[in-house]
Structure 1
Amino acid sequence: MKKLKFKGAAVVFMVLLLLASSLSGCMYPGKEQQTGSSYRESVKRVQEAVDEYQQQEGLLPIMNADESTPRYEKFVIDLGKLHEMGYLDEIPGAAFEKGGSAYFLILDEETRPSVRLMDIVTVQKVNDVQRQINRYKSGHGGNLPAADEIYPGLFTIDARQAGTGSITLKSIYSGQPLQFIMDKNGTVYADYSPDIMSAIDKNGVSPEANRDLRLQLEQASYYVPVKSLPYYWVDGQPVPQSPQP
């Protein structure tokens, strides 16, 4: 192979071009966009393994879950079993089991089992805030460090009172900040309304009444909106539904 010779100016130009190209790959806001190709391939491989396992074994390779476990945390896939039994050549590097930041789980288990990802960082951040809320509630006679009631029965958190100022959350979908909200019992959730609104705007279709808008995120991404409430279309915007007392 012949060596190419460049003059000084040409070399500088090529270096700058390569540097610009490398930086452009770091400017995507969300984790989904940063590693979309690798995550897509990992989900595809696990989906194929799950389908084959179900066909051969007659059941799904999922870990035991309590009935009260939320939908987006419930049916975690037993990747170790799939690997040990030869259905999966290797556990994806994105998986928690390999030091990654996602659990692989199954949605629509009774109709069309679909592999999706649960972001562990989001779970941890919400749990961190929950611990602070529980601590405050315990030390203040059951009162909550509530700020504004931004949705019916749902409140933002007074970070100064709760001691949660250092805990921030970025959307797994957009990379933009998401706020924490809590219900009247002090249960904490991530507020996905900006992401849902963005998905609705992108689709250009008016949402159906009485349909959980989190499906918009399920269809637009491999990630599930973990630690969330159901959202419905109210007065032209997605509004989370507070749990019944």
Structure 2
Amino acid sequence: MKRFATKLVLWTSLVTMLSGCLYPESQKNENQIPYTDQIQSVQTAVEQYQDNKSVLPIKTRDQETPIYQKYPIDFKKLVPAFLQQAPGNSFENGGVFQYVLINVEENPTVRLIDLLLIEKVKDLQLRVNDYRRKKDYPPFNEVLAKDRYSINYEAMGIEEEITVKSPFTNDQLPFFLDQNGNVHIDYSSDLTKAIESNPDHNYQNGDDIRDLLANNSFYVPVASVPYTLENDKAVFLVK
């Protein structure tokens, strides 16, 4: 009986250990939800840090970094003096979000990058690069605008178009390629909805309207290119 009890304890421990392996930190539900209180606590910490240090608690990025990835929050500068710990849903604490700042010059505001989107972009980019190595050119399909192309999935041997779930609308968004074969997410449908939902906006044709998403959501449109509006619809901003 004692031997059976010992085996039972060992089996229970093994199951518990394997459960932890099967469900890593980044896959746990609580680490994939943008809790308002966590975002607000980071916002407060950022403001207190700036008041105290006269600078922002951000990591250094070069000038070529895309605008919405340019100002990642450095939690090492906030913890523990201004924040007890990095949020559970942050990348630093096993989550799927990178905390960043937007509007850094006038009104530094905390937003999130969904790293699962970055992962899907990188995965598709690898497949595009593999095709390019074999064919010497990217898998361009239709011309969407100047230097913007849909992807020829059939030529790549992919049966169905690959999409990604929008953090703004939950719609499925397509990918596209620029003239250099770089993969981007097409947020035009999200932005058109944002234009409709914010009729009092001050944007004009020729303005980059992506902040319509960033300013009205927890998220930023990562892996995006500039868009503008034309006849109350979002279109690629090309020059």
Fold agreement, TM-score > 0.5: yes
1:109 alignment partner AA: V
CA deviation string 1:96-141 (max 9, x = no partner)? 1111111001112222211111110111111111121122112212
Give the superposition deviation at 1:235: 4.1
| Percent identical | 34
Structure 1 residue matching 2:79: 3-state secondary structure:
helix
Verify: 1:69 aligned to 2:65, yes or no: yes
CA distance in 2, matches of 1:163, 1:63: 40
Aligned with 1:220: secondary structure? coil
CA distance in 2, matches of 1:111, 1:217: 18
The corresponding residue for 1:82 is: 78
1:233 equivalent in structure 2: 229
Q: CA RMSD in A?
A: 2.1
The structure showing larger relative contact order (alpha-carbon pairs under 8 Å, at least 6 residues apart) is 1
2:199 to 196, 199, 204: 204
CA contact (8 A) 1:76 1:103 kept: yes
**Residues 164-243 of structure 1: pairs in structure 2 closer than 5 A:** 165=160, 167-205=162-200, 207-242=203-238
SS of match in other structure, 2:215: helix
| Structure 1 segment 14-29 matched on structure 2, within 5 A | none
Q: Distance in 1 between matches of 2:68 and 2:157?
A: 27
1:49 maps to 2:45: yes
AA of the residue aligned to 1:152: K
CA distance in 2, matches of 1:130, 1:123: 10
Q: Are the equivalent residues in 2 in contact too, given 1:125–1:167 (CA < 8 A)?
A: no
How far, CA to CA, are the matches of 1:100 and 1:64 in structure 2?
22
**Worse-matched range after superposition: 103-112 or 188-197:** 103-112
Partner AA of 1:68 in structure 2: E
Deviation at 1:215, TM superposition (A): 1.4
* Deviations, residues 223-242 of structure 1 (Å, cap 9, x unaligned): 00010001011244211234
- Which amino acid letter does the alignment assign opposite residue 97 of structure 2? A
Q: Which residue of 2 aligns with 1:154?
A: 148
Distance 2:167 2:111 in 1: 13
Q: Which residue of 2 aligns with 1:4?
A: none
Q: Does 1:60 align with 2:31?
A: no
> Are the equivalent residues in 2 in contact too, given 1:212–1:231 (CA < 8 A)?
yes
Show structure 1 runs of 5+ residues with no match.
1-30
1:8 aligns with none
SS in 1 for 2:65: coil
Structure 2 Cα separation of the partners of residues 205 and 150 of structure 1: 28
Q: CA deviation at 1:179?
A: 0.2
SS at match of 1:127: helix
Q: CA deviation at 1:35?
A: 4.5
1:95-174 alignment, distance < 5 Å? 95-141=90-136, 143-163=137-157, 165=160, 167-174=162-169
Alignment size in residue pairs: 207
Check conservation: 2:196, 2:232, Cα contact below 8 A.
Answer: no
Counterpart Cα distance in 1 of 2:209 and 2:163: 24
Query: Separation in 1 of the partners of 2:157 and 2:50?
Result: 46
Letter of the aligned partner of 1:153 in structure 2?
Answer: D
